[in-house]
Structure 1
């Protein structure tokens, strides 16, 4: 459901987005911000547009700095270049370039970076539609493999309503929702999936649940889930979270 943006202050939204992109939001504010993006596609689009503009501006600034720096080198004689003042100027410019480069590549929240580096949707199950009873499930699996996650979820949710204990349905509904940028629903299904100790998807469910929690910036909860697993992929993901 879209939030009602008619009563929102555009300048307040802009300031909020700037604070998010610069990493200046507290944990509670960040959680509220992510919730707002989940509820409003218009707001999320504004965030992406501002992010693109900020990155472009930073890249232009670095380009200008480099051009000015190179011109400065060409205009200086060797003796001037080796003077203390020139060396200090050069060092300052290089530090500024390095800091700006770091901002471009690492200004996003660290949890989101780890999520982006580690999230790959489950490849899915073979789609051999052998029986009428399984047709809707495998039809959804075809859409899932085509990355049509909305259609896959639409096929699976009625099946889940009729059989909420089916571990395969619960697991893939969780992964599909996470891939479809709906971490709230993903968490609902994956919490159920990782609680079923007899499920063949138990370790995978823990992995995607941890990624879902990262998507929501719940780092400590993600670590707690992964610490209960001995699978190589989960151990590797927990290691990636050590410095967060």
Structure 2
């Protein structure tokens, strides 16, 4: 490895740091990464900065979890669900839910099957903390990548209120809401993103909008959302929708 190489804080570097911190590197890549940290102090600093951000998110989440747990113990020292009658009722409810889910997926409600087979959250953007102006957005991106969608949405909604024309915020609010199970709210943001053909997220917004509509069983509207899309993923999805 050339020790004279200058470390650049670009998208590729940030994606590599994200993968390392989220333990998404294979053993060889991880060993190379750690060797790179030893050789390049500037690179090690970038890693430590991002690690501190993620640790702050984890500590905040853990603190809230402990507070909620402590509150439950103080207010309910002996929960109702500990009784045999409550356990029997809970078991009955679970059986009913399981039967209902089986009935849905074995019936003609195939739009849900198509949604489940095709929906995967956007992988997100590199969490670069380069300026104070985008700090809140990228802090929310850390939440998003850790599947803490409610926290990400809360941060991004504040940014959206301040600048409702920001196509990046609009798009990721749509995807985060869809990943969080709120198809109706996701549809609102994704429809707005679809109205910005100049945006880098235009094609992806069409794809996720169609999925949000499928989630609501709006098959014809989902077809319309993809009618002008040229991305490979959208073309495949449209073909599946047309077969419903």
TM range (shorter): 0.5 to 0.7
Change (3 A) 1:51 1:160: same
Judge conservation of contact 2:112–2:214 (CA < 8 Å) in 1: yes
Structure 1 counterpart SS, 2:130: coil
**Counterpart Cα distance in 2 of 1:114 and 1:219:** 11
TM-score under structure 2 length normalisation? 0.59
Determine whether 1:118 maps to 2:102. no
Distance 1:228 1:47, change over 3 A: farther
Change over 3 Å in CA distance of 1:144–1:49 after alignment to 2: farther
C-alpha separation between the residues in 2 aligned to 1:138 and 1:184?
Answer: 25
Q: CA deviation at 1:48?
A: 7.0
Shift of 1:212: 0.3
Pair 1:193-2:193 in alignment: yes
| Residue in structure 1 matched with residue 98 of structure 2 by the alignment | 52
Report how far residue 188 of structure 1 moved: 0.5
Unaligned runs of at least 5 residues, structure 1: 1-45, 59-102
In the alignment, which residue of structure 2 is the partner of 1:225? 225
Structure 1 residues 166 and 49: alpha-carbon distance in aligned structure 2, compared to 1, 3 A threshold = farther
**Whole-Å separation in 2 of the counterparts to 1:191 and 1:47:** 37
| TM-score normalised to structure 1 length | 0.59
Q: Matched residue pairs, number? A: 153
Once the 2 structures are TM-superposed, how far is the Cα of residue 50 of structure 1 from its aligned partner?
Answer: 2.3
- Match of 1:175? 175
Partner of residue 241, structure 2: 241
Aligned to 1:27: none
Aligned pairs for 1:153-168 within 5 A: 153-168=153-168
> Match of 1:149?
149
CA deviations over 1:75-99 (Å, ceiling 9, x no partner): xxxxxxxxxxxxxxxxxxxxxxxxx
Change (3 A) 1:187 1:105: closer
Cα distance in 1 for partners of 2:172, 2:160 equals 11
The higher radius of gyration belongs to 1
> Partner residue of 1:214?
214
| Root mean square deviation, CA, Å | 2.1
Query: Does the residue aligned with 1:124 lie in a helix, a strand or coil?
Result: coil
